[in-house]
Structure 1
Amino acid sequence: MSHHHDTDPMDWDRLGPLLESSAELESPLYREAAAWLGTLLPPAGVRRILDVGSGPGVLTTLLADAFPHAETVAVDGTPQLLERARARAERAGIADRFEARHAEIPGDLHQLGQADLIWAGSVIHHIGDQRAVLGELARLLRPGGVLAIVEGGLPTRRLPRDIGIGRPGLEARLDAAHADWFAQMRAGLPGAKGEPEDWRSLLAAADLRPSGSRSFLLDVPAPAPRAVREHHLTHFERQREGLTGLLADDDAAVLDRLLDRADPAGLARREDTYLLTARTVHTARR
């Protein structure tokens, strides 16, 4: 699940572990999603799975668990992330039915071969022409196969509305700044086309039969464990860097305090941090 929101050259030595830890934290909801897919497809009949935009392969291994007879293929355009996926498959004991495939999305999709299940987690919105890429993915499905895309859900919440420093509502303002950034990112993609995010209609336009959308909740209440707080620190560090120029000065100053490990109000020392989010999975059948 290679899900990064940057257009600058990536520091994969830094970003790879972040993507992996983020997916690991969200594994409970994705495990539920994989189990739901097992009600749409007979697990014993699924022979090949494509995890498109696999990133470090956390989802690839979860899908391999849910569909124990399938060959699982991690597909990504970043070799460093595919190395992580290979290592994860080894640790999970699925290396004999795992393949890492380097492919640019969407340009190389036609080379991937057919599959019974295609998972595209937080990938489609990184493609300029979303309608076209859904059509290409649909053509890779075997008859009766399912395409599952993760798009939308709920904004992640990590902090109370009032954290005792700065103006209340910091995360809502960060969401608004990110929405502006996201619109700029989408507009700058090659071949970008504006498209209402009606995923059911877009899947139907790809000659697929929509087979349901479901949202899956992740709820880690306060006080969050250390691993979650460390992930929060990394997340807010990236927001502080990535939203430069889009944040009010006072909010930037609050982020600086949150990131200061020595500050009593910083994330490393707070007892009120938590992790609450939901991801929506849209499915359609060939």
Structure 2
Amino acid sequence: MTQHRNDQHPHHHKQPKKHQKHHDHQADRHDHEAGLADRLDLDAEVLGPLLDEVTDWVRGRTTATPRAIVDVGAGTGTGTAALARRFPEARLVAVDRSPVMLDRVAATARAQGLAERLRVIPADLDVAWPEIGAVDLAWLASSLHHAQDPDRLLRDLHGALRPGGLLVVVEMDGMPHFLPDDLGIGRPGLEARGKEAMARARWNAYPNWRPHLERAGFAEVTERTFTFDLHPAPPAAHRYAHGVLSTLRHGLADHLAADDLDTLDRLLAADAPESVLHRDDLIVRGSRIAWAARRP
């Protein structure tokens, strides 16, 4: 998009308010999506081995080597890249409605030598399923619960899969755990209270997807929980924890007590000795839940 500078058009000293508000909204949305993309990339950097474990499980569930794979709600493409590594003969399609995310997917593909095997498709899946052709494997990581009508999306995916094809849904099992119960500051149990507040606010809430998959026509539904416990935490975990706890601090300000918010502020202050950016007692612990289901 071409940018218009006021010094190039001196007769336009001020944009109309309506246009300015639209421009500001677009800029805010771009910044928000860029920040989310950074956190997704950090998640993949810290939890790469877990992603490899999940895709290895997926390979064990396939009845034939997939020729075509779709990553639904691809985000920055970390799942796309992991699937490309696991299935080196497959061609891949990454679908997302965010141009920011799809730009990251394309950049990841170029950096990893996958560009020739990948198509990126901009699409709002709440409107319609895009024409991408038949696929053998559909992957939805932390994306199905964002759909306005997940049952309709699952029916669309059932129709897009070849007979015998596999659909995999992956969800986060709550916020990762980074800190000891007693931080040395504030009341013990901060993260537990944060997780309870997230549940009350229904952040990333999702159901057991098994009955939804079965209603959409899928069979052989299998569920598995994948756990991770990184101790000591890898170096990138400090920035990862800072991003997750920042989201907690700003998104749940009305759901946490004032002293917990003060503690979070100290944990997030870059120059504070107790900051998560500097702590040597950081861990990364949590789990993911995955469902695999086959189109008969």
Q: TM-score range by the shorter chain?
A: 0.7 to 0.9
Kindly report which structure 2 residues correspond to 1:95-110, keeping only aligned pairs within 5 A, or say none: 95-110=115-130
Q: Who is 1:242 aligned against?
A: 251
Contact kept? 1:118, 1:148, Cα under 8 Å: yes
In 2: Cα distance, 1:154 partner to 1:215 partner: 12
- Cα gap change, 1:249/1:163 in structure 2, threshold over 3 Å: closer, same or farther? same
Partner of 1:145, secondary structure, is strand
2-side partners of 1:55 and 1:248: how far apart? 33
2:277 equivalent to 1:268: yes
* Equivalence for 1:17: 38
Question: Percent of pairs identical after alignment?
Answer: 37
Equivalent of residue 201 in structure 1, options 211, 225, 236: 211
Question: Is 1:63 equivalent to 2:63 in the alignment?
Answer: no
Q: CA RMSD in A?
A: 1.9
2:36 aligned counterpart, secondary structure: helix
Aligned residue pairs, count = 267
Which residue is 2:18 aligned to? none
Matched position secondary structure for 2:29: coil
Q: Report the CA distance between 1:154 and its aligned residue.
A: 5.2
Specify the structure having the higher radius of gyration (Cα): 2
Please state if 1:210 is matched with 2:187: no
Given the two structures, how large is their TM-score scaled by the length of structure 1?
0.87
Task: Tell me which amino acid in the other structure corresponds to 1:108.
Answer: A
Does 2:74 correspond to 1:54? yes
**TM-score (norm: length of structure 2):** 0.84
Q: How does 1:90-129 map to 2 (within 5 A)?
A: 90-129=110-149
The aligned amino acid for 2:235 is R
Deviation of residue 95 (structure 1)?
Answer: 1.2
Letter in 1 for 2:190: L
How big is the shift at 1:151? 2.5
CA offsets, 1:192-236, max 9 Å, x none?
A: xxxx823212111111103411122222113x2331111111221
In structure 2, the CA distance between the partners of 1:61 and 1:245, relative to structure 1 (3 Å rule), is same
Structure 1 spans left out of the alignment, 5+ residues: 1-7, 187-195
Instruction: Structure 2: state its 5+ residue gaps.
Output: 1-27
For residues 113 and 176 of structure 1, the distance between their equivalents in structure 2, rounded to whole angstroms, comes to 42
- Deviation string, structure 1 residues 63-87 (Cα, Å, up to 9, x no partner): 0111111111111110111111111
The match for 1:4 is none
1:100-131 per-residue CA deviation (whole Å, 9 max, x = no partner) reads 11111232324233210000001111123222
Q: Distance in 1 between matches of 2:224 and 2:161?
A: 21
Supply the distance in 2 between the matched residues of 1:117 and 1:274 (Cα, whole angstroms): 34
Partner of 1:280: 289
